[in-house]
Each structure stands twice: as structure tokens, then as C-alpha cells.
Amino acid sequence: MANKYDVYTQIIPAAQYTGTKFFSFGPTRSLAARGLQKLVGIFAKYLITPAGTDPLDPQGGTLLTGLLGANVGVSDAHEILLLSVEKTVQAIQGFQTGQDIPSDERLASATVTQFISIPAAPGFSAQIFVLNVANQGLTFILPSLTTRT
């Protein structure tokens, strides 16, 4: 993890989706991010990293991306999302413990504030509120994830 900055990832416009890619470095040059934006970037990166695929952290990542095209009902997907957010919070707080990290980049909590079922897809979208210890918060919007039933 970077000392002062992290790369700011941007959500791709829906018309430019290719497969399951909905994050990129964006149409503009990569931007340095600090504070709450850096924290949300770290949170998003961990949340959408498939479990076991990070060579530097084999225990890292979540099962969330495994839902793409999975034969899982929307109610089960909601439970997997909640567990993935909980694992992400525990992991980030774990590797932030004992490190000199500014309070606006230190995770206090994250909560799924809205789970939006999309029966036509079938799939879901979600809003996750990320709060730092400086009591600043930002809503992270998880784009539509399609499942199969």
C-alpha cells in the first residue's frame, strides 16, 4: 500500500462496460487520492478483489465477485454482500492497526445502506456508506451485479 497516495479509480459509464469491468483508471490520467477518497478506494479495491487472487495476501478479497453469473438467488446475494462488507471492514482495520495513518484515511465502519434488487436482470445493486474515524463519510455505489436463478 502506498505511503501518501493511492490511485483513484473511476466508475466507467454504463455504455462503456466490457464484460464485468466497471472500474478503470478513467479517461483522464491517474490522480493521487488522499483522505476519505483514498479510504473508499482501498475499501472498493478489497471488496471487489476475488478471494484468494491477491498474491501478496492469499487470504485477501471477498466472495462478492463470485456472484457474477452465479446460480444464486437475490436474498442469498444480499447475505453474501453483507458478509463481504464485514470481511472488508475487518481486514482494513486489521492492516491499519499499529500503523501511522491519518484519521481521515482510517476506517471506522462501513454499512450497506441500501440493497436494490433488480428482478429483471436478475441481480442487484447496493449502496455502502464508508465512515472514517474523523467522522467523515461517503456513499460507495456498487453497480449492478447480475446473478442467475
Tell me the per-residue pLDDT of 65-85, one tens digit each, with 9 for 90 and over. 888 777 777 778 889 999 999
Report the mean per-residue pLDDT for the chain: 81
pLDDT score of 11 = 59
Which sequence spans correspond to the domains of the chain? 6-146
Strands (E), 25-106: 32-33
pTM across the whole model:
0.76
Tell me the per-residue pLDDT of 125-139, one tens digit each, with 9 for 90 and over. 899 999 999 999 999
Q: Considering the domain 6-146 in this protein, what is its CATH number?
A: 3.10.450.40
